[in-house]
């Protein structure tokens, strides 16, 4: 059986897209391929994103920052952008049937102490979690029909 690929894009592929990838992968389960990339990848996954996800028992420590062009030859069924810059820079991928844009604040721009920055990472993580878990529930419900 073919597993639909869902690609999540943001500009740097260091925070928001990885948060969404981890949450969506867990929410959807094994029937889907979930990946993330960026239009201008930062080259790393932000350590506070990894820490914020560990707090909800999702390990993204092995994720890597990737460029969206790595997926241009992939059969991407659904594309989801999580920042405005990626939405504007986004190409059409082969096999793409769906496109969604859900923008979130970039926690990488948080300032202050690590505790203050973590408050922003947690807020954004929780916002992403609400949206992507609802999306996953809809996908799973649709698949049962």
Q: Which of 8, 9, 10, 131 is catalytic?
A: 10
Q: Is 83 designated active site?
A: yes
Q: Is 15 designated active site?
A: no
- Cβ–Cβ under 8 Å, residues 74 and 5: yes
Sign of CA dihedral 138, 80, 77, 5: negative
Q: Strands, E, within the chain: which ranges?
A: 5-10, 33-38, 76-81, 98-101
- Compute CA distances 41 → 14, 45, 95, 118, 122, whole Å: 7, 10, 23, 22, 22
Length of the chain: 145
Q: Which of 42, 56, 89, 90 is catalytic?
A: 90
Q: Is 144 designated active site?
A: no
Q: Which of 6, 24, 49, 83 is catalytic?
A: 83
Q: Which residues are catalytic?
A: 10, 83, 90
């Amino acid at each position: 059986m073919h597993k639909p690929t869902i690609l999540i894009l943001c500009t740097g592929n260091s925070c928001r897209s990885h948060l969404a990838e981890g949450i969506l992968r867990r929410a959807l389960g094994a029937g889907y391929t979930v990946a993330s990339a960026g239009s201008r990848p930062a080259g790393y996954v932000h350590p506070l994103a990894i820490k914020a996800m560990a707090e909800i028992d999702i390990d993204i420590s092995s994720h890597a920052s990737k460029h969206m062009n790595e997926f241009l030859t992939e059969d991407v069924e659904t594309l989801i952008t999580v920042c405005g810059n990626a939405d504007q820079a986004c190409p059409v991928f082969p096999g793409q049937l769906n496109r969604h844009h859900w923008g979130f604040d970039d926690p990488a721009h948080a300032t202050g102490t690590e505790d203050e920055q973590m408050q922003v990472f947690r807020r954004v993580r929780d916002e992403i979690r609400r949206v992507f878990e609802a999306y996953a529930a809809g996908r799973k419900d649709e698949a049962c029909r």
